[in-house]
């Protein structure tokens, strides 16, 4: 077994920055594994009374990636895939609108957003590290740090990876905490 077999694992011993980014990437990878290699029916499957689907989660987390690394950290529009009016989180249209999207579109949307986010975060960290202020401000209290915004994204992925665990098990029985050794995405550009 080599570290290439488990490329998503954070370092065994590293800096705070390496562990934070590593934890985020591990959650991203686990989420992607839970959502991988499904057709439209699998991506739109629901359990119980919940409207959540794996396709909806792919679209939602793609939006969260672009909003986080463009608007929350830099004050920039979220990007060409998103209408700026969607910065208001009161309407989670992406959860329901994903049913109209093809699996190829949803996988590509998420994969592209994550690739852009990795580049943006690397650039932000190079410019000033985790302690620099983000664009996002808590009125009356000040700007959040880059560290806080990235930790918030780790929390977001933790919550939705748990949802993905339940949804995927209901679709085809896939269970497990981590992808198997050597796993790579099958669907989309991965």
Question: How confident is the model over 106-152, as pLDDT tens digits?
Answer: 999 999 999 999 999 999 999 999 999 999 989 889 999 999 999 99
Q: Determine the pLDDT at residue 86.
A: 53
Q: Determine the pLDDT at residue 92.
A: 75
CA–CA gap between residue 101 and residue 98 (Å, rounded):
5
The pTM of the whole model exceeds 0.85 = yes
Least confident of 99-103, 118-122, 150-154, 180-184: 180-184
Query: CB-based contacts of 169: which residues, under 8 Å, 6+ apart?
Result: 175
CA–CA gap between residue 69 and residue 117 (Å, rounded):
6
CB atoms within 10 A of CB 164: 24
Q: Determine the pLDDT at residue 83.
A: 65
Question: Residue written as tokens 């920055």?
Answer: 17
Question: Residue written as tokens 């202020």?
Answer: 133
CA–CA gap between residue 107 and residue 35 (Å, rounded):
9
- Residue 12 pLDDT > 90: no
- Residue 31 pLDDT > 90: yes
Q: Determine the pLDDT at residue 88.
A: 53
The band of 188, judged by pLDDT with boundaries at 50, 70 and 90, is confident
Query: CB-based contacts of 107: which residues, under 8 Å, 6+ apart?
Result: 35, 36, 58, 185, 187, 188, 189, 190
Q: Determine the pLDDT at residue 166.
A: 96
What percent of the chain shows pLDDT beyond 70? 92
Q: What is the DSSP letter of 3?
A: G
């Amino acid at each position: 077994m080599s570290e290439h077999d488990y490329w998503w694992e954070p370092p065994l011993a590293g800096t705070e920055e390496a562990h934070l980014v590593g934890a985020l990437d591990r959650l991203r990878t686990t989420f992607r594994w839970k959502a991988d290699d499904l057709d439209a029916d699998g991506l739109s499957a629901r359990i119980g009374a919940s409207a959540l689907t794996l396709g909806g989660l792919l679209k939602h987390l793609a939006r969260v990636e672009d909003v986080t690394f463009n608007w929350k950290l830099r004050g920039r529009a979220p990007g060409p895939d998103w209408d700026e009016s969607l910065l208001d989180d009161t309407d989670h249209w992406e959860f329901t609108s994903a049913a109209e999207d093809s699996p190829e579109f949803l996988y590509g949307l998420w994969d592209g957003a994550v690739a852009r986010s990795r580049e943006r975060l690397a650039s932000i960290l190079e410019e000033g590290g985790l302690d620099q202020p983000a664009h996002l401000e808590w009125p009356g209290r000040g700007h959040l740090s880059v560290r806080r915004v990235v930790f918030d994204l780790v929390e977001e992925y933790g919550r939705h990876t748990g949802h993905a665990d339940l949804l995927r098990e209901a679709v085809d029985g896939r269970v497990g905490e981590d992808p198997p050794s050597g796993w790579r995405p099958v669907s989309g550009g991965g």
